Structure 1
Amino acid sequence: MTAVFVTGESLKGQDVKWIDTRFSLQDSPQGRTDYEAGHMSGAIHWDLEEDLSDMTKPSGRHPLPDKKDLKELFRRSGLMLDDHIIVYDNGGSPFAARAWWILQYAGFNNASICLDGYEALVGAGFPADQAIPQPNRTDVEPKWQEDIFASKDFVKETVNGQTGYTMLDARSAPRYRGEIEPIDPVAGHIPGALNFDWEQLKQNGIFNLQSDVKDQLTGVVKADRPIIAYCGSGVTATPLYAMLKQNGYEDVRLYVGSYSDWITTETVDKEVK
């Protein structure tokens, strides 16, 4: 099995395809600006809102693009299913994990998230430049992995006790409890969901692969439980999804629409279940 997370050090001397996913939720163009100012040599750029979301859809704040649009993204990016792909951002951000999950969903079986952000990779001696690559277009055919995707209907069935899955909310505890809600119009969480703040996955600004994270995760939900990870918009739940997979949780799905999609038609539970 390909590692979920890798260090820059482990990549030295390897031939990889880089994907730069740097982004700022506060300043949408910033990621592209940073990419154009310098990136790993040969890296393409995937933008959270332009490439990894379809912002025209009503299903949450960062809806998943249609499969045909994702296939076109992969093809113009010059990717094949067996390519050794390394996705990076600034380190400790959720954007590389979002791209990585989409690659997993599409059946790319040799993709990993780099623990090190761009500056750390440059500091470690990896070549960087400002050249914008023009990949050779491919005819790749994704092999969609529906068993890692949770539709809204599947989540409804889960809430109704029909699937055996446990919902795991990646937002902060106060937002989960409905005490504060800075973004969405309704506070609370999906009924029955447990909570694990994705920020707890980090140590010194990067994702923590030490055993204490696994201990914290299993303290909330055991590794043999099937899980659906979600957050506010389907972005910060992806590091939680990735870390669950890193720590041996076999049956994990992502609710991409997440809470911002759920509240469009549902009455939410404002009490911790």
Structure 2
Amino acid sequence: MTPYVVTASWLAEHLGDAALVIADCRFDLMDTTRGQQEYAQGHIPGAYYLDLEQDLSSPRQQHGGRHPLPDPEKFAARLNQMGVTPETLVVAYDDSRFAYAARCWWLLRWLGHDRVAVLDGGYRAYVEAGYPVTNVIPPPRQGNFKPHPHPEWVVDRAAVIAAQADPQTVIVDAREPRRYRGEIEPIDPIAGHIPGAVNYPWQAIADEHGRLKSVAELQAYWQPLADAQQIIVYCGSGVTACVDILGLAIAGLHQTKLYAGSWSDWCSYLVAPDNRSL
């Protein structure tokens, strides 16, 4: 499909390739042990498990959002345990329409590893196609991944505030419309969105089965943003925003930056330590 996506059939044909590493990124924000349990019950052969909060994030602080970016060296050490080298193609999958696989995809590229893709349709598509699964945990491998971060791909709250006055910048809120409009807020203490942000829900990148829309469909979806010099994307905590960035990249738009702290960081400055609104 694109350099950023592989199909279940392609993955099944390449299981066991020495230059392939598979990352199972299944997770559930409301039950943080579920992904690990599902991985233990069955996963794609050879896949290693990457936990959103243990591997793909660093510990939460007062500010910085619910899922701060992982420490590059710590994350690199984990990738090395999986056998990642500069020649490795990493394929990430989940069962949540890329919600967590796209975070892994973005992190690897942020750290300078471009050979990374997501599995179209995720674990569900692979299983429904009848390909093999296993509960065998693969042994550690020896990699030599060295992180080379792109700090320019990330913005903080101050940069977002500055960008609000820039007519060449578009701020994209990737959350579902009801959260964007402030009608509901199931996680963070304050509902609403960053002033000036436009809403492009991350769920629109794929269909209800978790299969990515076509390149032409994604190009049409993102056409209103094509002329922007900078596109800052955020969500609740910098996770599903990466799905929008994936969709933008497939459409050929690479002028993106991630507000890593996202809404959870933004509103942390608007509440007292006991979560009362200021």
- The aligned residue for residue 8 of structure 1 is 8
Q: Per-residue CA shift, 1:100-142, capped at 9, x if unaligned?
A: 1111111112110111222321343433211111222333211
- The aligned residue for residue 120 of structure 2 is 115
Q: Does residue 263 of the first structure (1) align with residue 271 of the second (2)? A: no
Q: Give, in whole Å, the separation in 2 of the partners of 1:132 and 1:120.
A: 21
* TM-score after normalising by structure 1: 0.88
Q: 143, 151, 156: which one pairs with 1:151? A: 156
Query: Could you say if the C-alpha distance between residues 123 and 48 of structure 1 is closer, same or farther in structure 2, counting changes exceeding 3 Å?
Result: same
Most deviating of 183-192 and 227-236: 183-192
Tell me if the contact between 1:54 and 1:64 (Cα under 8 Å) persists in the aligned partners: yes
- The aligned residue for residue 275 of structure 2 is none
Q: Give, in whole Å, the separation in 2 of the partners of 1:266 and 1:155.
A: 15
Q: How many residues align?
A: 265
Q: Give, in whole Å, the separation in 2 of the partners of 1:24 and 1:196.
A: 22
Q: Does residue 190 of the first structure (1) align with residue 194 of the second (2)? A: yes
Q: Which runs of 5+ in 1 are unaligned?
A: 268-273
Q: 124, 129, 133: which one pairs with 1:128? A: 133
Q: Per-residue CA shift, 1:203-230, capped at 9, x if unaligned?
A: 13214322233322224x2255421110
Tell me if the contact between 1:82 and 1:108 (Cα under 8 Å) persists in the aligned partners: no
Q: Which runs of 5+ in 2 are unaligned?
A: 272-278
Most deviating of 119-128 and 95-104: 119-128
- The aligned residue for residue 82 of structure 2 is 77
Query: Could you say if the C-alpha distance between residues 29 and 127 of structure 1 is closer, same or farther in structure 2, counting changes exceeding 3 Å?
Result: same
Identity %: 35
Code of the residue aligned with 1:235 in structure 2: it is: V
Q: Per-residue CA shift, 1:9-68, capped at 9, x if unaligned?
A: 233433321110111112111101111111111110001111111233331111112222
- The aligned residue for residue 226 of structure 2 is 222
Tell me if the contact between 2:60 and 2:67 (Cα under 8 Å) persists in the aligned partners: no
Q: Does residue 67 of the first structure (1) align with residue 72 of the second (2)? A: yes
Code of the residue aligned with 2:10 in structure 1: it is: S
